[in-house]
Structure 1
Amino acid sequence: MARIGIVGSEGRMGHALAAAIRDGGHEVAGGVDRGHGDVAELAAKSDALVDFSAPAALQATLDAAIAAGIPVLVGTTGLEPENHEAIDRAAAGIAVLQTGNTSLGVTMLAHLVREAASRLGDDWDIEVVEMHHRMKVDAPSGTALLLGEAAAEGRGIELAAHSERGRDGITGSRADGAIGFASLRGGTVAGEHTVYFAGPEERLALTHLAENRAIFARGAVKGLGWLIGKPAGRYTMPQVLGL
C-alpha cells in the first residue's frame, strides 16, 4: 500500500483520483489545491505525488517531490516548453511520469496510431478530432496532441513543423504531410478522440470514447504503482503497458 498525495485535490479529477487510490488498495496521504495546503508538507508524508492541477503549479510540485525524494505523475495538460524543461530537470533526480492522458485505452490508441502512420503512405492524410466538455480551457486537448505526436513519430517528422490548426476562411488546399487538429467543446463530454487516416477512396478511423473521468484516475493509479521504486528518469504511459 502506497501513500499518495494529490495536487489539485478539489477538482473533479482530484475527487476521482481519491476514489481510485482507495479502490486500488492505497492510501490518500492528503491534498492541496489553489493555495490551500502546502505541497512540500504533503510530499514529506507521501510515497508519491500525482498532479492534475495547472501548469503554473507544476514547478512547486516538482520542487517538493525532489526535496522529498519521491516520484511524481504529471497529468496536467496545456504544458508549455518551459514546463517540459522543468520536468526534464526534475527527472535527473527523481522518477517522473508525464502524460497528456492516463487512460489505458488512449495509451493503446496512441500505439495503434503510431503503427498506422508508419505503414500507410504519405498520400494518407491525418486528422485528429477531439471533443470535450464546455468547461475545458485548453485546445487542442493534451490527448489530441499526444495522438498527433504519435502520428508524427510514425511518419518520422516533427509535429510542430507539420501541424495545421484553426482553419477558417480561405485557407487554400491542405498541405502535403500535414497533421490536422479540430477541437469541439460542449456539454459534459468527458473526452472523445478520433484519428482519421484519409487515403485515396478509403478512410480509417481510430476512436477512443471516455465515458467517465474514473478511467483516467484508474490509469493514473496503475501508473503510480508502476512508477514507485523506479530510478530517476522521465517515463511514459506506454512503458507502463510494456509497449
Structure 2
Amino acid sequence: MRTDQQPIRLTLIAPNGRMGKAIAAAATEDGGFALSPDQGDIIVDFSVPEALAGSLDRATRAGVPILIGTTGLDDFATRRIAEASRTVAVLRASNTSLGVALLEDLVERAARVLGREWDIEVLEMHHRMKRDAPSGTALSLGESAARGRGVPLRREDARSGRQLKREEGAIGFAALRGGTVVGDHDVIFAGPEERLILSHRAEDRMIFARGALAAVRFLLGRAPGLYGMRDVVATR
C-alpha cells in the first residue's frame, strides 16, 4: 500500500537492458520513483516479445498497471494485450518520447489536410543491433497517416527491382541500420511540385526513459483499458 508522499515503485522487466538501465537512471535523477523487483506499483516492460506473456500475467495477477515498450510484437501479442487491458490499465508505446507522440498528431493532421493525392513515405534509421524493421515507431507513424486519411494502413516495404510502380494509396517504409544511431524518423509527404517532411531525431536514450516515467505517472490509479502516449500528452 502506498500514499501520495511515497515514491512510485517500478518493477522493471529486463533491468539490465538498454532501456531498463536508462529508466533506472532517469528514476534516480527524478527522485519520485523507486525500483522494486517484486512489488512494484507499475510493471515496465521494454524487453523482447518472448517475455511479454509473462509480464502480462504478472500484471493481471497483481492487479497493477503495465507499460509495454517492447516492439516487434505480432497479432497474437496484440490480442493478449487487449485481453489484459480488460483487467488492468495497459499503456502500449512503440516509442515513449513525448516529441514522437506530438509528431504522430502532426502526421495525422497533415495526412488529413493534404489528402490522398500526396504520397507518404516513412524513413527510419536505428543502430545496427535493432532486431525489427520497420521500427515500431515508423509503423505507428504510418498508422497515424492512414488514420488521417480515414483508411486502413496499406504498407509498401523495402522496394527492390526494376520497372516498379508505386502502389497508389500505399504508405512506403524504408529502414536503415548502422552504427549507434538512437533513432531517426522522417515522414515525407510528396505532392505536386512540393514536399513536406516531418522529422524527429533522438539524440539520447534518456528521452525515452523520461517519457516512460511520464507514462508511469499517467498510469498510476488509471482504470483498466488500453492507452497510448497520445493519452499521456493530452493530459500535459
Residue of structure 2 equivalent to 1:106: 100
Residues 130/3 of structure 1: CA separation in 2 closer, same or farther (3 Å cut): same
Dislocated runs of 4+, deviation >3 Å: none
Query: 1:6 maps to which residue?
Result: 12
Instruction: Report what 2:215 is aligned to.
Output: 223
Q: Determine the C-alpha separation between the residues in 1 that align with 2:108 and 2:115.
A: 13
Letter in 2 for 1:149: E
Deviation sequence 1:30-64 (CA, Å, 0-9, x none)? 3xxxxxxxxxxx2xx11001000011100100000
**Kept after mapping to 2: 8 A contact 1:54/1:76:** yes
Are 2:195 and 1:189 equivalent residues in the alignment? no
Q: Indicate the residue corresponding to 1:35 in structure 2.
A: none
One of 141, 146, 157 as aligned partner of 2:151: 157
Match of 1:72 in 2: 66
Where 1:241 maps in the other structure, the secondary structure is helix
- Aligned-pair identity in percent equals 53
Aligned residue in 2 for 1:93: 87
Is contact 1:22–1:28 with CA below 8 Å preserved after alignment?
Answer: no
Pick one of 27, 30, 40 that aligns with 2:34.
Answer: 27
Corresponding residue number in structure 1 for 2:4: none
> In structure 2, the residue corresponding to 1:149 is in which secondary structure?
helix
Distance 2:201 2:189 in 1: 18
Deviations 1:9-35 (A, max 9, x none): 1111110010112222210113xxxxx
Name the structure 2 match of 1:62.
Answer: 56
What is the CA–CA distance in structure 2 between the aligned matches of 1:136 and 1:151, rounded to whole Å? 24
Aligned length: 228
The whole-number CA distance in structure 2 between the counterparts of 1:146 and 1:237 is: 11
Query: Which residue does 1:140 correspond to in 2?
Result: 134
Alpha-carbon distance in structure 2 between the residues aligned to 1:123 and 1:78 = 31
RMSD between aligned residues: 0.9
- Give distance in 2, aligned partners of 1:118 and 1:241: 20
Gap regions ≥5 residues in structure 1: 31-41
| Cα distance in 2, alignment partners of residues 77 and 59 from structure 1 | 14
Instruction: Work out the CA distance in 2 between the residues paired with 1:7 and 1:141.
Output: 21
The equivalent of 1:34 in structure 2 is none
2:109 — aligned with what? Answer: 115
- The Cα of 1:89 is off from its aligned counterpart by 0.5
Match of 1:212 among 204, 218, 223: 204
Residues in 1 aligned to 2:73 and 2:48: alpha-carbon distance in whole angstroms: 8
CA distance in 1, matches of 2:158, 2:84: 34
TM-score w.r.t. structure 2 length?
Answer: 0.95
Q: Which amino acid aligns with 1:220?
A: A
Give the stretch that moved more between structures: 187-196 or 17-26.
Answer: 17-26
Deviation sequence 1:112-137 (CA, Å, 0-9, x none) = 00000011021110000000000101
**What is residue 173 of structure 1 aligned with on the other side?**
165
Provide structure 2 residue ranges, at least 5 long, that are not aligned to the other structure. Answer: 1-6
